[in-house]
Chains A and B, each alone.
Chain A
Amino acid sequence: MISKKITLIGDFSTGKTSLIRRFVDNEFSDNYLSTIGVKISKKIIDVEDKKVQGLIWDIEGGTDTKPINQTYLRGVHGCIIVSDITRSETIEHLKNYINIIQSISKDIPYVLVLNKYDKIDEEKAKKIYTELLSSLAISEDRLYFTSAKSGMGVEMVFSILARLMLG
């Protein structure tokens, strides 16, 4: 079975660990615990008739004073760039993370997620989504809403990334 290294990147407290826990263990906790170092989880992802072993890297989130450690991105096959839809600055930083990935290789597939969708009203979320598509000049198949709390969009995002990684 083919293994693929997937790294979740984004600002601190955007819900990267929670998304992985929801995807791998189908669990969620409201308690916030900052990640340090890297923790790897494994999960088999079905892509049509193929199976991919995802080695999912949960890494420490970036802050204004401490950007993410780019050595964690060595050999990465795909990235999920996570923002917190309730914190505008985490959305503004998405472009920086795209640049980091593209500085490693233009061919690394990535998807962007607006996490914590459960914490915002639908109209506001739609407005943010539309504005972001325009400001980042990306297509709709790159940007998704997720909620680690409810599970909404989580499986789909990993599945889409797996498909992109397989080309």
Chain B
Amino acid sequence: MHIQEVFNAIYSNHCYEYFIIDKEYKVVEYSDKVFDYCTIKSADSVFEFIPELYGLDNELEEIFDGSLAMYKIPIVSKNDKYVNIYVYPGREKTSAPKSYETLIVLFEDITTIATTKQKLIQEKNENTLLLQEISIKNEQLELYNTKMQELVKEEIKKNLEQQKMIELQARYSQMGEIIGMITHQWKQPLNAISMMANVLILKQQNNSLDNKILEEKLDDIIMQVKYMSQTVNDFQHFFNPIKDKMYFNVFDSIQSVLDLVKSEYFHKNITVYLDGDKSVNAVGLPNEVNQVVLSLLKNSKDEFIKNPHSNMWIKINITSKDDKAIIEVVDNAGGIPEDIIDKIFDIYVTTKQDGSGIGLNISKSMIEDHMDGQMYVTNVENGAKFTIVLPTTMDE
């Protein structure tokens, strides 16, 4: 039998250190290596060198009197080792009732296991923190998205308002242009009316005014007034907003524009030709098409005023091809400089010193955005050619 050797082997490999305390909490016995975990002075109370037991008087008393079998507390010891402290009952009293004279305090080094456990807890906690952070970031992201959407909406609203302002500005500019032309067109009939009135006054003063002359002159005056009235009606019609797309005859529509402006261009020695297929119908907003044509005419006129020559003309040609109505406006006013022709439809791009750069941008927007058409420009010999393409059938 090797019982003693076995006990020796077990003892030499044991992983517990211990000390024993009496009822006064003073140390009465201890193992050699217990100092690895605490500094024992036998005179001290156990609470002095094991502060982890401080406040546990009740629990220790319960072990002394046998009502508590054991108490365990995991600590980090003075040498930074993870240790379980166990308090067990020691030597039993011989007298009744059953109680104990001493307690055994065991130190179990669990550093290896505890370190692994610590790593697992650390990993779990870090993952939880990461998830919490992701959750917060997600909330922030959602908040930013909402704010961003609001900002985008606001910007779109602002842009639309700005676009409306620009369109209004262009519209007022064209109205001013047309009013100028009406003034021009009214000069002749006003002069005629004035002259006829003077004739009537003179004849009356000479007593030579008879009914026939009076009727003739009054008819003439009425005719002139009708002409003037028609001009105003045309002007009103021109700016009457039509919101829904409709079929319209392209030739007739553009003719109505020319009727309004012919006098102005005639007096500036600019010949405006309208030619092509009179039967072409397009789908769109005729007033907006007319405003675009008027804008192109005005651009040509401005170029002619800048660089006049003896044979100034603007030719408007109307054709159709592949279910599209095509309006070409060509002039011999010198064309557009090649360095800006690609961006001539961009807003605020202009060849004029006092130009706003709005007209062509609005024109393109009217044709392409409002009517699903196309508008582009090329330079031709001595001039520029603007092409407007419009659908000839209504969308589904």
Which A residues have a C-beta under 8 Å from some C-beta of B? Answer: 3, 5, 12-13, 32-34, 36-40, 42, 55, 60-61, 63-64, 71-72, 74-77, 87, 89
Contacts and interface: CB of A to CB of B under 8 A. Distances in A.
Contacts of B237: none
A32 B129 CA distance: 11
Contact of B56 (A33, A37, A75): A75
A71 B125 contact: no
Given A12-B125, A13-B129, A34-B122, A74 B75 contact: no
Nearest to A41: B51
B74 A42 contact: no
A75 to B, nearest CB: 2
Given A5-B55, A42-B51, A75-B57, 13 more contacts: A33-B122, A36-B82, A36-B117, A36-B121, A37-B74, A37-B82, A39-B75, A60-B121, A64-B128, A74-B59, A76-B55, A77-B55, A87-B132
A71 B73 contact: yes
Query: What does DSSP make chain A's interface, helix, strand, loop or mixed?
Result: loop
Contacts of A32: 122, 125-126
A48 to B, nearest CB: 24
Contacts of A38: 52, 73-76
B125 A34 contact: yes
Contacts of B114: 36-37
A87 B139 CA distance: 13
A39 B122 CA distance: 17
Interface string B47-60: 10001101111110
Interface in B35-66: 47, 51-52, 54-59
A77 B121 CA distance: 28
B51 A55 contact: yes
A91 B74 CA distance: 28
Contact of A74 (B55, B74, B129): B55
A77 B181 CA distance: 99
Nearest to A42: B51
A36 B47 CA distance: 22
The interface centre, meaning the residue of B52, B57, B58 with most chain A CB atoms within 10 A of its CB, is B52
B140 interface: no
A61 B56 CA distance: 21
Given A38-B75, A40-B51, A40-B52, A89 B121 contact: no
A34 B118 contact: yes
Contacts of B82: 36-37
A103 B312 CA distance: 103
Contacts of B75: 37-40
Contacts of B73: 38, 71-72
9 shortest interchain CB distances as A-B pairs: A75-B55, A37-B74, A39-B76, A34-B122, A34-B121, A5-B55, A40-B51, A12-B125, A36-B118
A72 B72 CA distance: 11
Interface string B111-132: 0001001100110111011001
18 contacts: A12-B128, A13-B125, A13-B129, A33-B122, A34-B121, A34-B122, A37-B76, A37-B114, A38-B52, A38-B74, A42-B51, A61-B125, A71-B73, A74-B55, A74-B58, A75-B54, A75-B57, A75-B58
Interface in B322-361: none
A89 B51 CA distance: 33
Contacts of A74: 55-56, 58-59
Nearest to B47: A3
A89 B125 contact: no
Contacts of B125: 12-13, 32, 34, 61, 63
Nearest to A58: B76
Nearest to A36: B118
Contacts of A37: 74-76, 82, 114
A12 B127 CA distance: 12
Contacts of A61: 125
Contacts of B128: 12, 63-64
The interface centre, meaning the residue of B55, B57, B122, B125 with most chain A CB atoms within 10 A of its CB, is B55
B61 to A, nearest CB: 12
